[in-house]
């Protein structure tokens, strides 16, 4: 009986530490758009994707808790839910889940390109529940793991500074 109480108390303490860490990361990383992600729209970039991208960075807290919904995004960027749904199906040829995944993994790449955050921090900042989930999505999209991609960036930087 005492062992069961100890295990329960330990589990509660571990959960409290985990929540405290999550709150710390939210405060630390979600104050504003990361500095190098404020990019002027290009002519070939469609307006809805750009609006959603900006809205997700400036409005959403950590999006791994399923708080991103079609309704919430449509309200956030000021269009009707059906218009957003039609756009995804007819213009992007993606499901809502695939579209959000594409935006998240693009953010991961931008953060890898422009910051010194750890892979775990980037994973959390971009809405992944854990690093393996982000790594799998990144590898599926870019053909290499995020750690390998980061090493290539560092090697390119060193070789360009040697010239």
The predicted-structure confidence for 26-43, as pLDDT tens digits, reads as follows 555 544 444 444 444 444
Q: Sign of the C-alpha dihedral, residues 61, 18, 137, 94?
A: negative
pLDDT score, position 73? 83
Whole-number Å distance between alpha carbons of 112 and 123: 10
Portion of the chain with pLDDT greater than 70, in percent = 64
* 137 or 6: which leads in pLDDT: 137
Collapsing DSSP to helix, strand or coil, 73 comes out as helix
Name, in order, each residue with C-beta under 8 angstroms of 29's C-beta and a sequence gap of 6 or more: 117, 121, 124, 125
Quick one: DSSP state of residue 67?
-
Q: What is the C-alpha separation between 24 and 21, in angstroms, rounded?
A: 5
Q: Residue 33: left if φ>0, alpha if ψ -120 to 50, beta else—which one?
A: beta
Average pLDDT in the 60-73 region?
68
pLDDT in tens, 97-106: 888 888 888 8
Is the pLDDT reported for residue 21 higher than 60?
A: no
**Residue 161 is inside which H or E element, if any?**
helix 146-162
The rounded radius of gyration (Å) of the Cα atoms in the chain is 19
Task: Report pLDDT digits (tens) over 147-161.
Answer: 999 888 888 766 666
Task: Let me know: does 127 contact 111? Beta carbons within 8 Å.
Answer: no
């Amino acid at each position: 009986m005492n062992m069961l109480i100890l295990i329960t108390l330990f589990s509660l303490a571990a959960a409290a530490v985990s929540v405290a860490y999550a709150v710390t990361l939210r405060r630390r990383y979600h104050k504003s758009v990361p500095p190098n992600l404020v990019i002027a729209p290009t002519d070939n970039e469609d307006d809805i994707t750009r609006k959603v991208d900006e809205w997700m960075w400036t409005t959403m807290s950590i999006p791994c808790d399923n708080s991103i919904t079609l309704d919430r995004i449509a309200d956030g960027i000021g269009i009707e839910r059906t218009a957003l749904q039609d756009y995804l199906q007819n213009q992007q040829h993606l499901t809502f889940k695939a579209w959000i995944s594409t935006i998240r993994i693009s953010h991961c790449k931008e953060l890898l390109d422009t910051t010194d955050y750890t892979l775990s921090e980037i994973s959390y900042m971009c809405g992944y529940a854990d690093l393996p989930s982000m790594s799998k999505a990144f590898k599926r999209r870019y053909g290499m793991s995020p750690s390998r991609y980061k090493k290539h960036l560092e090697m390119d930087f060193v070789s360009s500074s040697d010239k």
